Amino acid sequence: MPKRQRIVIVGASLAGATAAATLRDEGFDGEIHLIGAETQLPYNRPPLSKGYLRRQEDFEAQLVKPPSYYAAQSIELKLGVRATTIDPRQKIVEVEGGEPVAYDQLLVTTGGRNRTLSVPGANLAGVFQLRTVEDCDRIRAATQRGRRAVVMGLGFIGCEVSASLRQLGIEVAAVAGGRVPLAHVLGDEVGQVLTGIHREKGVELVLEDGVAAFEGSGRVERVRTKKGRVLECDMVVAGIGIVPNTELLAAAGADVDNGVLVDARCRTSLPGVFAAGDVTNHLHPIFGRLRVEHWNNGYQQGRAAARSMLGREEPYDYVHSFWSDQYEHLLEYVGFATSWDRLVFRGRPESRKFLGFYLGDGVVHAVVGLNRGGDPDDPKVDGELKAAASLIRTRVAVDPARLMDEGVNLRALVK
């Protein structure tokens, strides 16, 4: 009897669990071992800054797959187990407190962890960061007695946590370095819209400033800013970004540069070793090399890596996309643009219902929608973001006037 193939996946979260499920969906009948450092079944993180944080959603509803799924699919799940070493020559993964696990092919989906908070007072009780459900449970507990919060950073996590805390009736002051929230991702005009939304909901925005220190005796009582503001509070949530968990693969000799380098088929520089999700810096046929931290990428690249391990040759060319919920507003984004020479709008930004097109050399590289896409009740806007993704994929120059014209169906612009 030929030996059964064994695929080992390190990192039991969105990308890892999705890859395991895809292997089975695609008919792989060898062994699958899914090893994860967290003790919970693989779960989705987006609700941790939204409905789950506000105690509106249960943890069970956030699971990537139902509890019975893994045994039913003969996926060996090892939870609460950290992989410590990969030996690519022997094809072995060593794990903390357990027997080494041999593999035929290996997929690494170790994601990211919060950037270290190196501000004086960061170890005071009541100062939180948010990545795991346990982090979220601690913040949830603090919101039950806390009345005043400071949020540090106004990226997506900072914006969403500010919104959720306001929805829980907590006073919020948010401190960030930029002139407006999310300017580096969305530009000043869209950032201005978010400024208006958060101010209207009662968030005190402390912009073009930074946190100098957290102060208090044992527990945080105030935040001192670099410009000298003193913000009284009983809790702090810092959203200052993540770093990819590349150490395991770097130590094994894989090429790493702001993420584990993978090609368009999710292959690392080590034979038989693949990677997917937040941990990768991947080569994309449209956008070039990039690392993103989006749920849709964790899901899609997890699927792509599984297919690649089964020998399929399609490149991973998903047009990236993400969403963010803040209060009653839904922000959606497709494509990827870190710089642009023109941003044009369909719908006025002040109306809080618009599309923004990020153009470089006349070509649409990314599109943001606020309260536009995904509305099946509004036939005019439903499917717009999908059409926008097709437009990005074509990479042909378009007339900005037609992008701005509500009367022009975006699909008509897709050659």
Token pair for 277: 């999700």
Interaction between residue 245 and ligand FAD (CB under 6 A): yes
Restricting to residues 111-130, name those near ligand FAD by CB under 6 A.
111-112, 130
Question: How far lies 395's CA from each of 19, 79, 234, 322, 360, in Å?
Answer: 30, 43, 50, 20, 10
> Which positions from 209 through 228 interact with ligand FAD, judged by CB under 6 A?
none
Residue closer to ligand FAD by CB (options 22, 49) is 49
Q: x/- site string to ligand FAD, residues 136 to 175, per CB under 6 A?
A: ---------------------x------------------
User: Per CB under 6 A, which region of 11-19, 23-31, 163-171, 346-354 contacts ligand FAD?
Assistant: 11-19
Shortest distance in whole angstroms from residue 337 CB to ligand FAD: 16
User: Which among 72, 64, 60, 76 has a CA at the least distance from the CA of 4?
Assistant: 76
DSSP-assigned beta bridge partners for residue 63: 43
User: What values do phi and psi take at 49, rounded to 5?
Assistant: -105, 5
Residue from the set 7, 9, 10, 193 that interacts with ligand FAD by CB under 6 A:
10
Return the bridge partners of 346, or none.
355
At 62, give phi and psi (nearest 5°).
-95, 0
CA distance 398 to 189: 21
Report helix, strand or coil for 269: coil
Residue with tokens 């996926």: 75
Q: Using the minimum distance from each CB to ligand FAD, give the nearer residue, 49 or 371.
A: 49
Select from 139-147, 174-182, 263-271, 288-296 the region that touches ligand FAD (CB under 6 A).
288-296
CA distance 376 to 208: 39
Tell me the residue ranges of DSSP E strands in 239-352: 242-244, 260-262, 273-275, 280-284, 288-290, 321-326, 329-335, 342-346
Q: Contact with ligand FAD (CB under 6 A): which of 166, 294, 346, 365?
A: 294
Q: What whole-number distance in Å separates Cα of residue 92 and Cα of residue 35?
A: 13
- Considering only residues 42 through 81, tell me which ones interact with ligand FAD, judged by CB under 6 A: 45-46, 48-49
Identity (one letter) of the amino acid at 89? R
Residue number, 236 or 403, with CB nearest to ligand FAD: 236
Which CB atom, from 225 or from 245, has the smaller least distance to ligand FAD?
A: 245
Burial of 344 (0-12, 13-18, 19+ CB in 10 A): middle
The structure tokens listed for 142 are 């603090």
Selected binder of ligand FAD within 181, 298, 335, 356 (CB under 6 A): 298
Site for ligand FAD in 254-283 (CB under 6 A): 277-278
Q: Which stretch binds ligand FAD (CB under 6 A): 105-113, 166-174, 203-211, 374-382?
A: 105-113
In angstroms, rounded to a whole number, what is the distance separating the alpha carbons of residues 319 and 296?
10
Binding test (CB under 6 A) with ligand FAD, winner from 171, 234, 293, 384: 293
Two structure tokens written together for 337: 């643009």
What's the CA angle centered on 174, arms 159 and 127, to 5 degrees? 95
Interface with ligand FAD by CB under 6 A: which range of 103-111, 184-192, 212-220, 227-235? 103-111
- Of 10 and 260, the one with the shorter C-beta distance to ligand FAD is 10
Q: How far is the CB of 12 from ligand FAD (least distance, A)?
A: 6
Smallest distance from ligand FAD to CB 95, Å: 7
Q: Where along the sequence are the contacts to ligand FAD (CB under 6 A)?
A: 10-16, 35-38, 45-46, 48-49, 82-83, 109-112, 130-131, 157, 245, 248, 277-278, 293-296, 298, 322-324
